[in-house]
Amino acid sequence: MKEILVTGGLGYIGSHTVVELMMKNYNVSIIDNLSNSEIFILENIEKITGRNPIFFNIDLTDYNKTNSCFTKKNYDGVIHFAAFKSVSESVEYPEKYYSNNLNSLLNILRCMKENKVDNIVFSSSCTVYGQPDDLPVSEKFPFKEAESPYARTKQISENIIKDFVNSTSFLSGISLRYFNPVGAHHSGLIGELPIGIPDNLVPYITQTAAGIRKELQVFGDDYDTHDGTAIRDYIHVEDLAEAHIAALERMCENKMDSEYEYYNIGTGVGNSVLDVVKSFERVNKLKLNYSVIERRSGDIEKIFSDCRISNKKLGWATKKGLDEMMNSAWKWQNNISSFLKG
Ligand code: UFG
């Protein structure tokens, strides 16, 4: 059985990937310092899978502690999620983002190099493309000026991985550039846990429907789109989790065309803010309070993925549509308060 180390394995995308790995019979170790999660997520992973991952509550910016995890097992691969992810916070506190996100990655790569661990899958973002000139966005597009310190940490991280891969004969890396991950596990036992007021659309919608927020503010309806609201490529988090296993298998089975590869992970379909709201209302049979206000600064009009390369090379494709995303997000929202009360 293959041994995989997942950093940030109790986070939103990390926890779904851990479940998927365990369902596929991988042995999983998790490093997570609970900076953006709760310990009940670990218990719920165990409920879903009927198995217990190894859990290290460790801060990845501590090299010695991180390295101590690498000496406990011979890992076949690492999936590195652990990072801060708020665009707006990164603009206010760039030092926090550069320090945490880059030092964590450097420590992981150093440990991999010293302990001869071969394969890393990295959690990147379509934000590395900046404002794309053309749509859909292909992997062939270059990085453009980063829109935020968060975006720049993703660009820098991808380059760091490339340099490490070039520095050894054994390291391989794949960066997965996510579009907009939403929804939750179909069990309703794991999902996104936003701290405070959500920045992102779907947690804001579910919190509004739950009565935690008064109304959703739709940021702008004067974009050049079918209904005037901005367009994104929303992808179900379970489909996204599967892409990590496909990437890992590509590396473990030595199918790589080169030691470092990068893929877009989206559906290829663009949906507007109002498409999302309408799907949420329809599948969950409720009405959402919302009003339209001015555009949010820094937002782009539309972005969606060209998935042809990732579909072909990873042998992976999404299966779930917007309605399943909205249905699972609402199921999760309805469970959160009882989980948090314990
Ligand atoms: N939106 C609203 N109201 C809200 C929240 C969002 O109308 O309360 C709109 C936004 O204006 C945007 C769309 O919903 O048009 C999606 O917004 P999100 O904040 O959910 O997602 P973004 O596309 O802005 O950001 C996401 C990730 C970032 C990543 C970025 C680019 O959250 O981490 O994609 O990759 F950097």
Contact 258, 171 (CB under 8 A): no
19 — pLDDT class (breaks 50, 70, 90)? very high
How far is Cα 52 from Cα 29, in angstroms, rounded to an integer? 9
- At residue 126, the pLDDT reads 97
Q: Mean pLDDT throughout 80-92?
A: 95
* 195 found inside a domain: no
Identify the band that residue 199 occupies on the pLDDT scale cut at 50, 70 and 90.
very high
Percent of the chain beyond pLDDT 90? 95
Tell me the CATH number at 326: 3.90.25.10
* Per-residue pLDDT reduced to its tens digit, 119-171: 999 999 999 998 889 999 999 999 999 989 999 999 999 999 999 999 999 99
| Mean pLDDT value across residues 312-320 | 98
pLDDT digits (tens, 9 = 90+) for 39-78: 999 999 999 999 999 999 999 999 999 999 999 999 999 9
The best mutation among 200, 204, 212, 276 to test binding of ligand 1, ranked by most ligand atoms within 8 Å of the C-beta, falls on 200
Band (pLDDT 50/70/90 cuts) for residue 342 is: low
Average pLDDT of the segment spanning 192-215: 96
**Residue 213 and residue 100 share a domain:** no
Q: Are residues 37 and 128 in the same domain?
A: yes
Strand ranges (E), 140-191: 172-178, 180-182
How far is it, in rounded angstroms, from Cα 267 to Cα 251?
23
Give CA–CA dist 229/212, Å, rounded. Answer: 24
- How much is the mean pLDDT over the chain? 97
| Same domain assignment for residues 14 and 141 | yes
**Best probe residue, ligand 1, of 88, 150, 273 (max atoms within 8 Å of C-beta):** 273
**So what's the pLDDT on residue 233?**
98
| Residue 229 CA, ligand 1 centroid: distance in Å | 12
Residue 341 has a pLDDT of: 66
Q: Please indicate, yes or no, whether residues 228 and 242 belong to a single structural domain of this protein.
A: no
Range of the domain at 62: 3-182+234-265
Q: Is the domain of 87 the same as that of 176? A: yes
Q: Is 303 in the pocket of ligand 1 (CB under 6 A)?
A: no
Q: Does residue 226 share a domain with residue 165?
A: no
Is 188 a domain residue? Answer: no
CATH code assigned at 23: 3.40.50.720
Regarding whether 280 and 131 lie in a shared domain, the answer is: no
Tell me if 111 sits within 8 A of 73, measured CB to CB: no
Task: Give per-residue pLDDT as tens, 225-276.
Answer: 999 999 999 999 999 999 999 999 999 999 999 999 999 999 999 999 999 9
Is 126 a pocket residue for ligand 1 (Cβ < 6 Å)? yes
- Tell me whether residue 187 is in a domain: no
Per the listing, tokens 């945490």 go with 100
Q: Which atom of ligand 1 is nearest to the CA of 229?
A: 15
- Quote the number of domains for the chain: 2
